[in-house]
């Protein structure tokens, strides 16, 4: 059987990746989607809104993260791969969806080669690695939120186990939120605890003012690290800063109620938000010369094409969603960027272009 060479390979099946895949297949492209949700704990950010309905995005009423992830999968599955004829040539269109954590992306001539781990890692089982080829790639792998270091045992092997207690409360109505814009409405006029340090966490406090003026910043044992102008405003706004280390969560089932502090005191709040930064899911781009910002988020042009250090578009390489620098980290934005990337990747595969474009190479 001839080796499959996809038109577009999409890395990630969140809203950005799903939209890129559907848009490209709608332009008659043969699309591969590789997503790590089942083979690793990197399930995508949308998944982590576990019990909070998504209200501000073009999705079904009452939908929560895990169901949203399933619906995106069904949407892509509605476009299976089929053959069609054009100009006497047999081609394929539709979406192949594969479980796979992309480990490495390489260019080989005009093609991209993707190396992916396609089975869940288990003790005693060899890593299952498969290779895929594609003419273009859309990176829609998003980022992982950094979770708070509370009841965290650095000795443990696996991330999920390390943060087991934190994850119990993550993304619930009364648990850890990571997006004040998304979940602030659940705590109108209630007391919010924001965990983080520096002027960075203050951004969350600025967002929180739309919902409440009862705000406490917890630094979990670190110096607050805020600049003098920020500190001045914090005092004027009567925002409390507590620098004591947190010993453990106080919770009931999946509801987080408060914390026991290292000095034995107990603090209770109505809502909890953590913003300790992010980890971009871009390890597979190691060795590539591409532009990124100080957080590691990808800088792309208006066609969502990635740029090299000389600001030249990298042929065939596009990106979309939360992984893009300077965009809002929200579902509707991810859909929009995904559509742009999927269409741009498709356009780049056209056999002929306008005379002006052809003259420009
Ligand atoms: C708790 C929480 C609540 C939120 N609530 C809202 C809300 O109410 N409204 C709103 O608009 N936004 C909300 N957001 C933000 C929203 O979830 C994100 O903006 C959106 O999911 C970004 O979409 P994305 O496709 O770019 O990335 P993601 O949804 O993060 O998807 C990334 C995909 O990439 C895959 N992946 C990662 N690494 C690899 C790899 N190496 N190989 C293969 N696949 C990989 C993952 O499995 C996943 O499929 C919330 C986020 C969180 C965490």
CA 236–ligand 1 middle distance (angstroms): 36
Counting atoms of ligand 1 from 1, which one is nearest the CA of 143?
30
Measured distance CA(195)–CA(176) in Å, rounded: 10
For ligand 1, the distance from its centroid to the CA atom of residue 161, given in whole angstroms, is 21
Report the distance separating Cα 296 and Cα 265, nearest Å. 38
Note the pLDDT of residue 2.
77
Residue 278 has pLDDT above 80, yes or no: yes
Q: Are 15 and 335 in contact (CB under 8 A)?
A: yes
Which pLDDT score is estimated for 43? 82
- Considering the domain architecture, whether residues 78 and 130 belong to the same structural domain is answered as yes
The answer to whether residues 31 and 139 belong to one domain is yes
Here the CATH number for the domain that contains residue 293 is 3.50.50.60
Instruction: Give yes or no for residue 159 having a pLDDT over 70.
Output: no
Please tell me the predicted confidence (pLDDT) of residue 155: 66
- 283 has pLDDT over 90: yes
Check: CB of residue 148 under 8 Å from CB of residue 178.
Answer: no
If pLDDT is split at 50, 70 and 90, which confidence band does 76 have?
A: very high
**How remote is the CA of residue 46 from the centroid of ligand 1, in Å?**
4
The size of the chain, in residues, is 361
Atom of ligand 1 minimally distant from the CA of 329:
19
User: Which one of 259, 274, 289 terminates a domain?
Assistant: 274
User: What mean pLDDT is predicted for residues 54-77?
Assistant: 94
β-strand pairing of 129-139 with 313-319: parallel
For 194, the domain range is 147-274
Pocket test for ligand 1, best of 9, 10, 13, 14 (most atoms within 8 A of CB): 14
Going by pLDDT thresholds of 50, 70 and 90, the confidence category of residue 357 is confident
Mean pLDDT along residues 263-271: 98
Average pLDDT, integer, range 315-329: 98
Is the minimum distance from the CB of 103 to ligand 1 under 6 angstroms?
A: no
**With a 6 A CB cut-off, is 57 part of the ligand 1 pocket?**
yes
The pLDDT value recorded for residue 260 is: 98
Q: Of the candidates 249, 274, 299, which is a domain's last residue?
A: 274
Q: What was the pLDDT predicted at 160?
A: 66
- Give the pLDDT of residue 78: 98
Closest atom, ligand 1, to C-alpha of 328: 19
| C-alpha 29 to ligand 1 mean position (Å) | 24
Q: Are residues 114 and 92 in the same domain?
A: yes
In the reported structure, the alpha carbon of residue 313 is separated from the centroid of ligand 1 by a whole-number distance in angstroms of 25
Q: Is the CB of 36 under 6 A from ligand 1?
A: yes
Q: What is the mean pLDDT of residues 315-323?
A: 98
Ligand 1 atom having least distance to the Cα of 15 = 25
Q: What is the pLDDT of residue 122?
A: 72
Q: Which atom of ligand 1 is nearest to the CA of 44?
A: 30
16 and 133 together in one domain: yes
Tokens describing residue 223: 């110096």
**Looking at ligand 1, which residue's alpha carbon is closest to its atom 9?**
182
Residues 10 and 139 in one domain: yes
pLDDT in tens, 173-227: 999 999 999 999 999 999 999 999 999 999 999 999 999 999 999 999 999 999 9
Same domain (yes/no): 215, 68: no
Q: Which atom number of ligand 1 is nearest to the Cα of residue 183? A: 8
Q: Assign 360 a pLDDT band (cuts: 50, 70, 90).
A: confident
pLDDT band at residue 120 using 50, 70 and 90 as cut-offs? confident
Residues 101 and 25 in one domain: yes
Residue nearest to atom 15 of ligand 1 (CA): 330
Q: Which of 274, 307, 330 is a domain's end point? A: 274
| Structural domain total, the chain | 2
Give yes or no: residues 137 and 55 share one domain: yes
Same domain, 136 and 164: no
Whether the pLDDT of residue 157 is over 70: the answer is: no
- What is the longest distance spanned by two Cα atoms in the chain? 77
Tell me which of 155 and 269 has the higher pLDDT: 269
Q: For the residues 86-100, what does the mean pLDDT come to?
A: 96
Residue 133 and residue 12 share a domain: yes
In whole numbers, what is the pLDDT of the chain averaged over residues? 94
The mean pLDDT value for 228-238 works out to 96
Strand 313-319, strand 240-242: pairing: unpaired
Tell me, in angstroms, the distance from the centre of ligand 1 to residue 126's CA: 29
Of 155 and 164, which is predicted with more confidence?
A: 164
Question: What's the pLDDT band for 161 if we cut at 50, 70, 90?
Answer: confident
Angstrom CA distances, 227 to 202, 224, 232, 233, stand at 10, 9, 9, 10
Using the predicted structure, report yes or no on whether residue 343 has a pLDDT greater than 90.
yes
Confidence of residue 239 (pLDDT cuts 50, 70, 90): very high
Percent of the chain surpassing pLDDT 70: 97
In this predicted model, which residue has the larger pLDDT, 158 or 140? 140
What spacing in Å lies between the alpha carbon of 145 and ligand 1's midpoint?
A: 10
Count of CA atoms in the C-beta half-sphere (13 A) of 62: 0
Query: Does pLDDT of 232 surpass 90?
Result: yes
53 and 195 in a single domain? The answer is no
Same domain, 78 and 176: no
Q: What is the mean pLDDT of residues 40-66?
A: 89
Question: Which ligand 1 atom is the nearest neighbour of the CA of 170?
Answer: 1
| Dihedral sign from CA coordinates of 193, 199, 203, 206 | positive
Between the CA of 16 and the centroid of ligand 1 the distance, in Å, is 8
Q: How many whole angstroms from 334 Cα to the centroid of ligand 1?
A: 9
């Amino acid at each position: 059987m001839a080796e499959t060479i996809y038109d577009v390979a999409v890395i990630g099946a969140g809203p950005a990746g799903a939209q890129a895949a559907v848009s490209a297949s709608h332009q008659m492209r043969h699309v591969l989607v590789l997503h790590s949700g089942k083979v690793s704990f990197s399930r995508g950010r949308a998944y982590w809104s576990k019990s909070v309905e998504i209200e501000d995005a073009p999705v079904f009423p009452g939908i929560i993260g895990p169901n949203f992830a399933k619906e995106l999968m069904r949407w892509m599955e509605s476009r299976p791969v089929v053959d069609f004829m054009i100009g006497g040539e047999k081609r394929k269109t539709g979406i192949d969806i594969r479980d796979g954590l992309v480990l490495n992306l390489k260019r080989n001539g005009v093609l991209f080669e993707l190396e992916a781990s396609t089975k869940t890692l288990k003790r005693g089982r060899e890593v299952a690695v498969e290779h895929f080829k594609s003419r273009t790639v859309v990176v829609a792998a998003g980022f992982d939120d950094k979770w708070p270091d509370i009841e965290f045992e650095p000795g443990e092997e696996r991330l999920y186990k390390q943060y087991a207690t934190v994850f119990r409360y993550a993304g619930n109505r009364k648990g850890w939120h990571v997006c004040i814009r998304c979940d602030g409405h659940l705590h109108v006029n209630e007391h919010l605890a924001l965990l983080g340090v520096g002027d960075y966490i203050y951004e969350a406090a600025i967002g929180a003012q739309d919902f409440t003026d009862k705000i406490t910043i917890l630094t979990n044992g670190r110096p607050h690290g805020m600049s003098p102008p920020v500190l001045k405003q914090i005092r004027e706004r009567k925002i409390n800063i507590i620098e004591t280390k947190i010993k453990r969560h106080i919770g009931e089932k999946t509801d987080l109620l408060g914390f026991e502090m290292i000095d034995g005191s107990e603090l209770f709040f109505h809502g909890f938000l953590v913003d300790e930064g992010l980890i971009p899911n871009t390890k597979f781009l190691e060795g590539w010369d591409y532009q990124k910002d100080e957080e590691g988020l990808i800088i792309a042009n208006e066609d969502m094409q990635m740029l090299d250090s000389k600001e030249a578009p990298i042929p065939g390489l596009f990106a979309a969603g939360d992984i893009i620098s300077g965009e809002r980290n929200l579902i509707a934005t991810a859909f929009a960027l995904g559509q742009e990337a999927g269409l741009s990747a498709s356009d780049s595969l056209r056999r002929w272009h306008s005379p002006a474009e052809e003259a420009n190479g």
